[in-house]
Amino acid sequence: MDSTLPVAAIVGIGLGVFLQKGRFCFVNAFRDFFAYKDTRVTKGVLTAIILTMVFWGLTYQLGYHQELWTPKWGMTGLIGGFVFGVGMTYAGGCASGTLYRAGEGYLQFWLTLLFMGGGYASFTAIFPTLQSTYFAPLTIDNGVSLFAISPIPAGFLAVLIAGAVVLVYAALTGSKAANNGSPERATTKTGLLTVIAPITGLQTFVSDTRTYLRGLVHALRTPVASSKRPWDPRSAALGITAVAVLWFVQVSIVGITGPEARWTGYLISQVGINAASFEYWGSILFQGQGIGITADMVMIGFVIIGSFLASLWSGDFSLRIPKRRRLPNAVGGGFLMGAGSRLAPGCNIGNIYSGIAELSIHSFIASVGIIVGVYVMTHWIYREVGCAI
């Protein structure tokens, strides 16, 4: 583990800095899209997933990767993901968002972290019962990644999927642009329009990307001043991809709630409770190797430090005291995130980011669960003012 410590520090600090600077928030990405069709952060999240998928696919194909994370798949992903999605929307921050906002000085998210710990511990306590009543009946088959089973080489497969996603994105934005301003055209959509849509969409995509890259080059001319300003989420996505590739090559896929659940076991063992005697901590999370500090635990600790440093540098750091009426959000949201991420298993990073990027069957299902959870909870939160979708 010693040799991976510096890598854990670099990856953790890098993630903290990029998440903070890009205000990279998975709740925001889906919630604001559902609530009023804002796609600024959604684009950043999609960019990170697609880029990471391509680079992980290539490193996997070349044999440079360490391990894949492929839990058994079934209805557990849908149910646990849903619970997690509801929890993160209620808490106002996903697993990664909670970490970097803790670093920015939000006391509310330290409280959320504490209650996520409560969720992990409660889950662990009832795990033996859940094994027979929840996991066994709802699991369909062993987990697998398309990287491993596809007849197409992983890197090529990733590029193909990335291309398909861009085409679908182009078709959607293209047909939206074509429908704009004339409601009749939306109903009398001709075949021709369907053919043209991806082309106009692609043009928009290319010109969007070109504008973004020009902005990036422009920003790099004054690196110090630019580094203090908030970044486009797509810039954060580039940085996140770089450290995720480093982590994939050296350790594993990027996860947050797994290491957090390990932290909970470790901290509980520090106050004299025999955490290893609980099946979930002892034999599953720590794989029978004893309760200790692992590289991924160190890595997520450094995410908080990285975000603290970045926010200090940008002048964003301040101790933010939550309003008393928001305490249920931290308590309830945190608990649901902790418990949901174990029931799935995996959080927004493990499933929506890393899991999709490594094409794991389980993560496709869990991501659907999480997004449905966000959708339902967004409608509940916006119940008095209305949602766009």
Partner 1 sequence: MPSIDDVTNTPDELSEKEADTLLEEADLVQDMRGEVCPYPQVEAKKGLQTLSAGELLVQETDHVPSTENVPKAVENDAEASVWRGSDAIDRIYLRKR
Helix (H) or strand (E) holding 81: helix 75-91
Shorter beta-carbon distance to partner 1: residue 72 or 379: 379
Q: In the range 18-37, which residues lie near partner 1 by CB under 8 A?
A: 23, 25, 27-28, 31-32, 35-36
Minimal distance in Å, beta carbon 23 to partner 1? 5
- CA dist 48 and 217 (Å) reads 19
Minimal distance in Å, beta carbon 350 to partner 1? 22
Minimal distance in Å, beta carbon 87 to partner 1? 14
φ, ψ for residue 38, nearest 5 deg: -85, 125
Are 19 and 303 in contact, with CB atoms under 8 Å apart? Answer: yes
φ, ψ for residue 74, nearest 5 deg: 165, -160
Are 155 and 60 in contact, with CB atoms under 8 Å apart? Answer: yes
Q: Considering only CA atoms, give the Rg of the chain.
A: 21
Structural tokens at position 380: 């509940």
- CA dist 121 and 130 (Å) reads 14
Minimal distance in Å, beta carbon 309 to partner 1? 16
Minimal distance in Å, beta carbon 118 to partner 1? 20
Q: In the range 76-95, which residues lie near partner 1 by CB under 8 A?
A: 92-93
Q: In the range 348-387, which residues lie near partner 1 by CB under 8 A?
A: 378, 381-382, 384-386
Shorter beta-carbon distance to partner 1: residue 134 or 382: 382
Binding-site size for partner 1 (CB under 8 A) equals 31
Block residue for tokens 């008095």: 384
Pick from 9, 10, 40, 138: which binds partner 1 (CB under 8 A)? 40
Q: Which stretch binds partner 1 (CB under 8 A): 100-108, 125-133, 147-155, 183-191?
A: 100-108
Minimal distance in Å, beta carbon 97 to partner 1? 9
Shorter beta-carbon distance to partner 1: residue 24 or 56: 24
- CA dist 117 and 111 (Å) reads 10
Helix (H) or strand (E) holding 26: helix 26-36
Minimal distance in Å, beta carbon 36 to partner 1? 5
Shorter beta-carbon distance to partner 1: residue 292 or 328: 328
Asked if 225 touches partner 1 (CB under 8 A), the answer is no
Q: In the range 265-324, which residues lie near partner 1 by CB under 8 A?
A: 315-318, 320-323
Shorter beta-carbon distance to partner 1: residue 27 or 158: 27
Three-state secondary-structure class, residue 17: helix
3-state secondary structure 248-304: HHHCCCCCCHHHHHHHHHHHHHHCCCCHHHCHHHHHHHCCCCCCCCCHHHHHHHHHH
Shorter beta-carbon distance to partner 1: residue 271 or 385: 385
Minimal distance in Å, beta carbon 119 to partner 1? 19
Minimal distance in Å, beta carbon 364 to partner 1? 27
Q: In the range 226-265, which residues lie near partner 1 by CB under 8 A?
A: 230
3-state secondary structure 191-214: HHHHHHHHHHHHHHHHHHHHHHHH
Pick from 47, 52, 108, 307: which binds partner 1 (CB under 8 A)? 108
Are 54 and 344 in contact, with CB atoms under 8 Å apart? Answer: no
Are 354 and 265 in contact, with CB atoms under 8 Å apart? Answer: no
Shorter beta-carbon distance to partner 1: residue 189 or 320: 320
Q: What is the DSSP letter of 65?
A: -
Shorter beta-carbon distance to partner 1: residue 196 or 316: 316
Chain contacts with partner 1 (rule: CB under 8 A): 23, 25, 27-28, 31-32, 35-36, 38, 40, 92-93, 101, 106, 108, 230, 315-318, 320-323, 326, 378, 381-382, 384-386
